[in-house]
Structure 1
């Protein structure tokens, strides 16, 4: 009897050690919230002074703030492609924003392995809710064929410019919204007197409903919201009239009121998701990541300098300077991440695929560029480091950039007459104001070789004339 009791106690002790040793033995749930065009300096916890973001500030206080995390690209589609595939923009299949039809962006090929596919194979319920931008239901890029069990929102990024669309998609089928104007309505009648659907609200509601239905098994929610992208439309609380909320009486241009209210609304959504996870009893076993797909935009009348949206960084969306690609990133995981931790490890979007694969118990594809961030997140083991990070962009004359250690190289005019490589020391010159290329030709030569090796020509993406 005593022997049996001893064996029972031993088994309990061994089980406890197994759970507490490193990452929890149970597969963690994963929620990845991706903002659209949110700048490095747009959150209070990253230095913003005028826009209220209390929920994201609390998330940073509860978890980890990543101060040197980079998006996959400086614009939407390639950045999301890097995130999904774990490959940098030198050889991902989608390297710019490009439509192949009126309803679809260039599609993700069928043979690419995505985060969602790896997690789906490990028994996760998977959902994309929000904006996809990597293909639609008529081609291989359809997210339901790329590892997602459930999808709701925008498939095409051009469609996502409209916050009051006539429809969104659920699993490839149109869902008519209250913004639909019947043909029989007299011309110019409008919809101002009727209830309307602000797309972000529908996306948030759908995410809540999906979490309630799927929280009893391991789940991966990719919540790719559209705020604060494009039109600076503050939206409504069921009305077409813009709702500037707490900023309505500020002595600001309407475009800036709209931008600020969209960011605060985004912040509220993040807070609501975290509150729901706690209500459902899964907060302790859920890692929540928040980030942005690129730097702040200058569209629809928005002035990114008005709120210092790039913070101390140079550049905005479509630049390969830091302001176009370094993004505000926060990770919360109770019991695994120490509260209030500020992490300066250099990391990027391609790292999330191997990170989530390791947490889920999946093998990582061998042809990716990312490295697992599990040691950094948990504080256990030695964190591997990148030899370099690389980006390329094919609009505005063609650009490429590289970071290796604290050195940053930027080269413009790649598709025309190539301009000399600019060289910056990010340790002492975060704003990239002082080009040191003439002082360090050996560093420039090394970075040029690395950039040349990182780029893979394809029919669509070449810097050759």
Structure 2
């Protein structure tokens, strides 16, 4: 099985592997870490935590320097990925909270939302979700098997997903009991009461890694789409509060003898463990003889955290970027992006093409030969994958909005980035990223024309939603 472009296109960029216009569709794998920072991988400048397999993946593939998550926290970022709509148009625009007023509990996709899995289904794909979903419970329209997935194994609820040693996980439509014993805390949010394990046997990250290998073996004749939504290195927030250490991992591995607090050892060990398992997945594709038929993309759902109580200064997870998770500065939303497709993507290449999670919809639809839904905010980056830069379309701008911490909006247009805090009414900050990747020099005063332009883009991009309101303001 081999995906190739039409001969007329192939000649213009001279790829020798192109054979015909009617080849089969590629397998597609999207691997997403949880709260992994732009600077957490060696190939993006990390000097302490070891990530040899992801570094190798980048060396054998294409590294994006300007790739963005859908949002700065979990659920809305995943909504952007799966629907191809940015935050001004998406239905899920924030994480669930305690929801005393019910205004922040819209955390399920609707029946009318069209997902990547549904689009690929029309092209004959078998679709699997392994890991964390966060976009709909079992009895909701957002349940993944109601949204185009044939296989589901993992967590539905974001709070349930905090615990690496839970009492159960979802196995398709069934709760599968695990051998862990959990002590729960006294409060519930997001529709779930979290906790930590007092008896640890089954580590979910390891279960997800094993299940992903099984899914690939069972569907090796393809085409298949695997959405491997890992939870590492997200903290168990409840464990952080109840025990002081939310970096849950079976062992500290190569960091066991470091003179570090356990939280730091655990954080590093989770990332290196994840790195190893991504390597196992790539190795399996080679063993099965389908590596050249499979497009793999690796990224993170948003910027890094210190919710496990580890030391951010030790690892510098945002690298040169300002901010972390929940910020709309670059450190909260710019994430690693590594594309791997042996024989198709040029090894050791790097691109500064500006792309984001919402572009996944148009990209895989193009690769699969499927139609894209109407009304999405998605630009295919397939030309960039194939080195056909001249045919790569660009966004006029990328847009984000965030409703916690008083709210904020951001827009990137070319080399410029603007942030408005609070949404709608706040002052606009302006940064020139080409010269100031760390967003230290606010140029708003020197460029009132660009401030006006950025504000107009934010106003255009934001569509009011009855369940997502700026607190105390009308929008």
What TM-score does the superposition give when structure 2 sets the normalisation length? 0.88
Q: Distance in 1 between matches of 2:298 and 2:412?
A: 23
Contact conserved, 2:36 with 2:302, CA < 8 A, in 1? yes
Q: Provide closer, same or farther for how the CA distance between residues 123 and 308 of structure 1 changes in structure 2, counting only shifts above 3 A.
A: same
Q: Distance in 2 between matches of 1:84 and 1:304?
A: 30
Q: Which residue number in structure 1 is paired with residue 263 of structure 2?
A: 255
Contact conserved, 1:105 with 1:157, CA < 8 A, in 2? no
Q: Does 1:111 align with 2:112?
A: yes
Q: Does 1:316 align with 2:314?
A: no
Contact conserved, 1:131 with 1:154, CA < 8 A, in 2? yes
Q: Which residue number in structure 2 is paired with residue 55 of structure 1?
A: 53
CA positional deviation for 1:306? 2.3
Q: Provide closer, same or farther for how the CA distance between residues 229 and 439 of structure 1 changes in structure 2, counting only shifts above 3 A.
A: same
CA positional deviation for 1:305? 2.9
Q: Provide closer, same or farther for how the CA distance between residues 22 and 45 of structure 1 changes in structure 2, counting only shifts above 3 A.
A: farther
Q: Which residue number in structure 1 is paired with residue 160 of structure 2?
A: 159
Q: Distance in 2 between matches of 1:383 and 1:158?
A: 39
SS of 1:129 mapped into structure 2? strand
What TM-score does the superposition give when structure 1 sets the normalisation length? 0.89
Contact conserved, 1:234 with 1:261, CA < 8 A, in 2? no
Q: Distance in 2 between matches of 1:125 and 1:131?
A: 19
Q: Provide closer, same or farther for how the CA distance between residues 268 and 421 of structure 1 changes in structure 2, counting only shifts above 3 A.
A: same
CA positional deviation for 1:427? 0.6
Q: Which residue number in structure 1 is paired with residue 422 of structure 2?
A: 413
Cα deviation digits, residues 347-386 of structure 1 (max 9, x gap): 1001110000011110111211110111100123510011
Q: Which residue number in structure 1 is paired with residue 207 of structure 2?
A: 202
Q: Does 1:235 align with 2:244?
A: no
Q: Does 1:68 align with 2:50?
A: no
Q: Does 1:45 align with 2:43?
A: yes
Select the residue among 314, 317, 333 that pairs with 1:306.
Answer: 314
Q: Which residue number in structure 2 is paired with residue 392 of structure 1?
A: 401
Select the residue among 210, 218, 221 that pairs with 2:223.
Answer: 218
Q: Which residue number in structure 2 is paired with residue 334 of structure 1?
A: 342
Q: Which residue number in structure 2 is paired with residue 462 of structure 1?
A: 469
My pick for the range that moved more, 297-306 or 135-144, is 297-306
CA positional deviation for 1:462? 3.0
Select the residue among 392, 412, 432 that pairs with 1:383.
Answer: 392
Contact conserved, 2:235 with 2:248, CA < 8 A, in 1? no
Q: Which residue number in structure 2 is paired with residue 10 of structure 1?
A: none
Q: Which residue number in structure 2 is paired with residue 6 of structure 1?
A: none
Q: Does 1:245 align with 2:259?
A: no
CA positional deviation for 1:101? 9.2
Select the residue among 64, 88, 91 that pairs with 2:89.
Answer: 91
Contact conserved, 1:63 with 1:332, CA < 8 A, in 2? yes
CA positional deviation for 1:21? 5.4
SS of 2:30 mapped into structure 1? strand
Contact conserved, 2:92 with 2:106, CA < 8 A, in 1? no
Runs of 4+ in 1 over 2 A off after TM superposition: 16-19, 21-25, 99-102, 231-234, 302-306, 462-465
Q: Distance in 2 between matches of 1:293 and 1:24?
A: 34
| Pairing 1:426-441 to 2, within 5 Å after superposition | 426-441=433-448
CA positional deviation for 1:315? 0.3
Q: Which residue number in structure 2 is paired with residue 176 of structure 1?
A: 177
CA positional deviation for 1:121? 1.3
Q: Which residue number in structure 1 is paired with residue 449 of structure 2?
A: 442
Give the alignment's Cα RMSD to 1 decimal: 2.2
CA positional deviation for 1:302? 2.4
Contact conserved, 1:22 with 1:378, CA < 8 A, in 2? no
CA positional deviation for 1:419? 3.1
Q: Which runs of 5+ in 1 are unaligned?
A: 1-12, 183-189, 237-242
CA positional deviation for 1:23? 8.2
Contact conserved, 2:164 with 2:248, CA < 8 A, in 1? no
Q: Provide closer, same or farther for how the CA distance between residues 158 and 55 of structure 1 changes in structure 2, counting only shifts above 3 A.
A: same
Q: Distance in 2 between matches of 1:166 and 1:370?
A: 38
Select the residue among 345, 359, 362 that pairs with 2:367.
Answer: 359
Q: Distance in 1 between matches of 2:410 and 2:353?
A: 19
Cα deviation digits, residues 260-316 of structure 1 (max 9, x gap): 000001101100100111111110010000000000012020233320000000000
Q: Distance in 2 between matches of 1:22 and 1:86?
A: 30
Q: Distance in 2 between matches of 1:23 and 1:41?
A: 40
Q: Distance in 2 between matches of 1:70 and 1:197?
A: 33
Contact conserved, 1:19 with 1:25, CA < 8 A, in 2? no
Q: Which residue number in structure 2 is paired with residue 130 of structure 1?
A: 131
Q: Which residue number in structure 2 is paired with residue 186 of structure 1?
A: none
Q: Distance in 2 between matches of 1:21 and 1:373?
A: 22
Larger-gyration structure (1/2): 1
Cα deviation digits, residues 390-411 of structure 1 (max 9, x gap): 0000000000000001110011
Contact conserved, 1:105 with 1:135, CA < 8 A, in 2? no
Contact conserved, 2:409 with 2:422, CA < 8 A, in 1? no
